[in-house]
Structure 1
Amino acid sequence: MQLAQVRGTVVSTQKLPAMRGIKLLLLQFIDQEGNLLPRYEVAADQVGAGVGEWVLMSRRAIAPHPDDEKQRPLDAIVVGIVDTVS
Structure 2
Amino acid sequence: MILARVEGSVVATKKNAKMTGNKFLLVRPLVIDSPTAKEWKPGTSTLVVTDSLGAGEGEIVLIVQGSSARLAADDKDSPVDAVVIGIVDTVDVGKHILFKAQ
Q: Answer whether TM exceeds 0.5 for this pair.
A: yes
Does 2:68 align with 1:67? no
> Relative contact order (alpha carbons < 8 A, sep ≥ 6): 1 or 2 greater?
1
Name stretches of at least 5 consecutive residues in structure 2 with no aligned partner: 33-38, 93-102
The alpha carbon displacement at 1:10 in A equals 0.4
The structure with more radius of gyration: 2
**For this pair of structures, how many residues does the alignment match?**
85
Residues in 2 aligned to 1:53 and 1:31: alpha-carbon distance in whole angstroms:
15
Match of 2:15 in 1: 15
TM-score by length of 2: 0.76
TM-score by length of 1: 0.88
Residues in 1 aligned to 2:65 and 2:21: alpha-carbon distance in whole angstroms:
20
Q: AA paired with 2:31?
A: D
The alpha carbon displacement at 1:16 in A equals 1.2
State the 4+ residue runs in structure 1 displaced beyond 2 angstroms. 65-68
Name stretches of at least 5 consecutive residues in structure 1 with no aligned partner: none
